[in-house]
Structure 1
Amino acid sequence: MNAFVLNRHGRMVFPSNVMPELDFSTVETLEQLDSVIRRDFETKAPSGTEILERVRTGAYATRYDLMRDLALNLFWANRFSITMYDKRPTRWGDLPRTRPDVFLPVLEPWEDGEAKVSGVQEAYPQLPSRWDGACEDRIFEVLFDVFANRRHHASTLPAVKPTVAEFLEQPGALTFRLPHYDPDYPVYDYADILDVSEDVPELEALHRWAMVLHNQYPWERSQVELASADQLRDDDWVVAFHPRDKEVRGFLRRLRAGEVPRQVAGPRESRPPVRPYPELDVRRRFAVQPRLEALAAVHGDQVCGNDDLIRNTAYNWSPMSAEEIRSKTGIEQREYSSLPLEELALQAAEAALDKAGRQPEEIGGVLVCTCTSSRLIPSLATYLCGQLGMHQVYAAYDLIAACAGMPYGVADAVRLLQEVERPVLVVCVEKFSDKIGNVRTSRMIFGDGAAGLVIGPAPEGTDGDVDYLKTYASGPASEVNSILWPNPEFDNNITVFGPQVKALAGRYLSQMIDELGRLPAPDGRDGSLMDAIDLIVPHQANKTMVIGLAEKAGLTADQLYFNIEQVGNTSSASIPLAISDAVRDGVITEPLRVFAPGFGAGAVAGYAVLRVDPAVVAVEGMAGRSQHEEGQLPAPAGDTGSASEGMREAFG
């Protein structure tokens, strides 16, 4: 898990963004490793030759631009040593000659290294500073000290280093030689790196990069030479490479044993179903009508703004400003939780039960909708039963429907009601902040949060709160696999393939709008079900993308409610969180018919058309009390007018 931490300044830091730690437990081949290495280190890193060419052609506009390229080059030059090995300076006379787990790097002299170093040295003072000259000078001093004392060419470095015995069998092979070694050579402590604080977010990130790179060479760098075995004396020091952990050792063993991973057959071409699946007309289909007794949201307790992302820019990210993130996603901040997923779920469950006035023993079933739980046994749903003191329920299980979790959960709860005729607790909960790693797309979008819903039987002879339900799943394999976790190709972090996600979201949203346009309005009203919708609360995926897709489907932006600007994408929790915030913000001030569509990972989708009464929503700070009783919201009116008029009034 790659969690965030708060440094002594109270700022959020993502250690995995600057301290590379690849997960080798699932890496099976050099090709797999090469894919990760190229993505993380090589794709955006310029070579020394390219840096020199940019210097000579005046391609650098500011000192920051030059320093950023230096840092990227140095991360690339350390791409294997920094991720796979611990460097341990050792006297040549003391170095084991036959151990299979002690390696020596074979290095080639850096071609035109002096010209590249002098070119950078001369160019830097001639460039203007970007933000803060004094700060940039301090960072450059650290970076240039590493860059200027590089001795080896980076292009030909192999992932698997030769053992000492293999090194000795290569005549003329060169490795590092240190004439002396000081074990107390100053390096930056972990806390030093976390506690970096600069006024400019981009410089704070670059400063951390520089400190990590400095620590890769904890010796007097100006004295380092490249030497062959016949030039080494017993009192010379060499840099021995040791596998950094048992996962790297296992990976190296698999390579040496020549293990071949099992080949997986490719997907078949997807075909549409033989006939469409009908929408579920809840009032006609079921005897026990569902009533939304309570909805309670739990937000993350730590705010991660766009500036925080820039402060934590990883070495594999393209340059992007906080404003560009907002423009691309519609997100200004996302909320993270310092609590574990289980605790988030428990808080949401307790708040929902409290708002509904229900005791645990009254609950007939518990459903948890999540795609970020690492708990398999027991399921999160059964764990909640135990924590809440439920001695027995009819059913408790987890649903992995990602961003369609809320529609899936409500649909299953309605079906369970028919059998148990007692309330069902549905908890939608996600914690992405510790599963994102250094993948920028995911880091920009996802947040943490939870919501609990109590869906009980409506009094006999009365209408329930759910009109229609519909769920969907699957599509082309490219869409099914458009969001992955864990993903070995991205170091087992959550990864999002944007074009495929946009394709599945557009496909489903268009289908849903078309289906609602063909269904009759409820209660004998004129027009279609779509005409009867008062408010659309979509899954909060990416505001810019969803608005674009909605407009293509014939909707307007003022028909949709978003809270993604402040909380990010919380997958299964996003719709109930947004409904809660719509009540808090005064957008829902009386019972409204809400269309809640969700779509996402696994090419799943679904929607619920339901009545939301703000009186059953536990707004933070008012849990367990009716908003109307508190005087926070106006009492429900009789006729609210047309749907479009209501939405225009709500959104101004």
Structure 2
Amino acid sequence: MTLHSKIVGTGSYLPPNRVTNHDLAAQLAAKGIETSDEWIVSRSGIAARHYAAEGVQSSDLAVEAAKKALEMAQLSANDIDLVILATSTPDFFGGFPSTACVVQRKLGIDNGCPALDVQAVCSGFVYALTTADKFIKSGAHKNVLVIGAEVFSRIIDFSDRTTCVLFGDGAGAAVLTASEEPGILATKLHADGSYGDILCGPGRISNGVLEGSAFMYMDGQAVFKLAVGLLDKVANEALELAGMQSSEVDWIVPHQANIRIMQGTAKKLGLGMDKMIVTVDQHGNTSAASIPLALDVGVRDGRIKPGQNVMMEGVGGGFTWGAVLVRM
């Protein structure tokens, strides 16, 4: 029997504090920084984002998304035999204990299954899905919980209007299970460390002291140019591996970073925006959480149906990029 990995449940969670562009503009104006709803929408397509409350960590958002995915999959927490969590904002400095281990504990998974974090920034969920797919196809694991969770509001420099308006907090999750039916059809991952300085968290800790900035840095123009050039290429690579054409794709679920990047990708693939799940307007760029958030929205509102082909793709700091082609 040929083993496949199939998505059987999705879930997502946004913290209750929804901040519109008007809200954010007012907050920034109090600090002497000018922006507006029109300026933000015209450059990114973002109308609102959500911020986690003080004390709420990535693991807390991840748990809420995971519970919904488990419920849809009709599985209990202890049915999970591997947890993979993608995040750039782990609960603990240094990343340990891993946020995946924290989520495992908070979900009450006490079967001793492995749990690990994946760090590929905005490509994190695609990297994590690919990892889960390989584990399932190897026969080593049967039910894998894959999560993307971020509290990017903690690492935003709110004095930099070019980046602070773009990011938000949230989590999305998917449950993959071993199946005789095809699920994940193809995956393709890439990285190029020579572009590491255009999107990064440049701060370092030395002897307990922060060296450099604790805030994220992004060269927006450089990232935009690189992303537009890479996303359609990696999508086509995944299609080639699956022996399919772009016309066979029912839905594109891209990393929700910027509507102009998303529009450019759809155009290059020869697909209309009516085939793209767009949620960036409502939650901004939630990094590793953005693809599973958008996937869950599409599944729950009935647009994404069983048997349809879905292309998920993203780019992130590192520089990383990848695509996963899935039959739902």
TM over 0.5: yes
> Hey, what's the Cα distance between the residues in 2 that align with 1:548 and 1:319?
28
CA contact (8 A) 2:59 2:100 kept: no
- Secondary structure in 2 aligned to 1:453? strand
> Hey, what's the Cα distance between the residues in 2 that align with 1:332 and 1:405?
24
Report the counterpart of residue 312 of structure 1 in structure 2. Answer: 27
2:90 maps to 1:373 = yes
CA contact (8 A) 2:83 2:104 kept: yes
- Secondary structure in 2 aligned to 1:463? coil
> Hey, what's the Cα distance between the residues in 2 that align with 1:578 and 1:336?
17
Report the counterpart of residue 313 of structure 2 in structure 1. Answer: 597
Describe the shift of the 1:585–1:340 C-alpha distance in structure 2 as closer, same or farther (beyond 3 A): same
Report the counterpart of residue 358 of structure 1 in structure 2. Answer: 75
Describe the shift of the 1:588–1:548 C-alpha distance in structure 2 as closer, same or farther (beyond 3 A): same
- Secondary structure in 2 aligned to 1:373? coil
In our comparison, the structure showing a higher alpha carbon Rg is 1
CA contact (8 A) 1:486 1:492 kept: yes
Alignment RMSD: 2.4
- Secondary structure in 2 aligned to 1:371? coil
Report the counterpart of residue 237 of structure 2 in structure 1. Answer: 515
Q: CA deviation at 1:606?
A: 1.1
> Hey, what's the Cα distance between the residues in 1 that align with 2:29 and 2:79?
49
CA contact (8 A) 1:422 1:456 kept: yes
Return the letter of the residue paired with 2:171. A
Describe the shift of the 1:413–1:326 C-alpha distance in structure 2 as closer, same or farther (beyond 3 A): same
Report the counterpart of residue 330 of structure 1 in structure 2. Answer: 45
How many residues are aligned here?
Answer: 316
> Hey, what's the Cα distance between the residues in 2 that align with 1:348 and 1:413?
17
CA contact (8 A) 1:291 1:455 kept: yes
Return the letter of the residue paired with 2:152. F
2:4 maps to 1:289 = yes
Report the counterpart of residue 208 of structure 2 in structure 1. Answer: none
Describe the shift of the 1:307–1:419 C-alpha distance in structure 2 as closer, same or farther (beyond 3 A): same
2:298 maps to 1:298 = no
Describe the shift of the 1:592–1:387 C-alpha distance in structure 2 as closer, same or farther (beyond 3 A): same
Describe the shift of the 1:397–1:516 C-alpha distance in structure 2 as closer, same or farther (beyond 3 A): closer
> Hey, what's the Cα distance between the residues in 1 that align with 2:43 and 2:222?
17
> Hey, what's the Cα distance between the residues in 1 that align with 2:168 and 2:70?
24
> Hey, what's the Cα distance between the residues in 2 that align with 1:363 and 1:589?
24
> Hey, what's the Cα distance between the residues in 1 that align with 2:263 and 2:80?
38
Report the counterpart of residue 473 of structure 1 in structure 2. Answer: 191
CA contact (8 A) 1:288 1:421 kept: no
Find 2:107's aligned residue among 388, 394, 402.
388
- Secondary structure in 2 aligned to 1:320? coil
CA contact (8 A) 1:364 1:420 kept: no
Q: CA deviation at 1:589?
A: 4.6
Find 2:164's aligned residue among 436, 443, 458.
443
2:287 maps to 1:571 = yes
Q: CA deviation at 1:517?
A: 5.7
> Hey, what's the Cα distance between the residues in 2 that align with 1:454 and 1:500?
34
The two structures have a TM-score, normalised by structure 1, of 0.46
CA contact (8 A) 1:516 1:530 kept: no
> Hey, what's the Cα distance between the residues in 1 that align with 2:29 and 2:2?
55
Report the counterpart of residue 207 of structure 2 in structure 1. Answer: none
Deviations, residues 244-298 of structure 1 (Å, cap 9, x unaligned): xxxxxxxxxxxxxxxxxxxxxxxxxxxxxxxxxxxxxxxxxx9421121211111
Find 2:225's aligned residue among 484, 491, 503.
503
Q: CA deviation at 1:509?
A: 1.2
Higher relative contact order (CA 8 A, sep 6+): 2
- What aligned pairs does 1:56-455 form with structure 2 within 5 A after superposition? 287-313=2-28, 319-338=34-53, 339-375=56-92, 376-417=95-136, 418-438=138-158, 439-455=160-176
Task: Report the structure, 1 or 2, having the larger strand content.
Answer: 2
Identity of aligned residues (%): 31
Describe the shift of the 1:374–1:383 C-alpha distance in structure 2 as closer, same or farther (beyond 3 A): closer
> Hey, what's the Cα distance between the residues in 2 that align with 1:603 and 1:316?
33
- Secondary structure in 1 aligned to 2:165? helix
Unaligned 5+ runs, structure 1:
1-285, 522-527, 613-652
CA contact (8 A) 1:394 1:420 kept: no
